[in-house]
């Protein structure tokens, strides 16, 4: 029997990250880098307001900068499972949603330190058994 591989398509046309994987934050980071949206997620800064009497090019650039936040948020929301989506739907910016995903999948700094200590202890006990 041939194994079927699922690929989810986002509304903007890119393949979605496989759902419910523990490495979802890494996949989302990579996808946002591909679409040049990662800086929007990291900085969480509002685009500068238009000056008085802007040119057509400045208006277009400002509109592009404003829509990048929405595109980044859309990428994040479309790449997660429905269960995780319900956890990040309340966040308004991609940075807030990203931080929530990062905390959920990687834990806080304190939990990572505790996991590291546990792994070291396990390693030492395995070494002593040999």
Give the DSSP letter of residue 50: P
Confidence grade of residue 60 (pLDDT, cut at 50, 70, 90): very high
Q: How many CB atoms lie within 10 A of CB 117?
A: 10
Distance CA(74)–CA(117), nearest Å, equals 37
Q: Which residues partner with 15 through β-bridges?
A: 9
Rg (CA), the chain: 20
Percent of the chain with pLDDT over 70: 74
Among residues 73, 65, 89, 67, the alpha carbon closest in space to that of 28 is found at 73
Q: What's the token pair of residue 43?
A: 């900085």
Q: pLDDT per residue over 77-125, tens digit each?
A: 888 888 888 888 899 889 999 888 888 888 778 888 888 899 999 998 9
Confidence grade of residue 14 (pLDDT, cut at 50, 70, 90): very low
Whether the pLDDT of residue 8 is over 50: the answer is no
């Amino acid at each position: 029997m041939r194994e079927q591989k699922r690929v989810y398509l986002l509304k903007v046309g890119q393949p979605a990250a496989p759902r419910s994987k523990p490495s979802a934050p890494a996949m989302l980071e990579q996808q946002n880098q591909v679409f040049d949206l990662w800086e929007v997620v990291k900085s969480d800064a509002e685009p500068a307001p238009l000056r008085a009497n802007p040119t057509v090019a400045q208006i277009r650039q400002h509109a592009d900068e404003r829509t990048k936040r929405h595109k980044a948020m859309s990428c994040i929301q479309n790449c997660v499972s429905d269960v995780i989506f319900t956890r990040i739907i309340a966040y308004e910016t991609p940075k807030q949603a990203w931080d929530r995903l990062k905390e959920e999948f990687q834990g806080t700094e304190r939990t990572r330190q505790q996991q590291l200590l546990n792994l070291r202890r396990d390693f030492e006990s395995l070494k002593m058994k040999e």
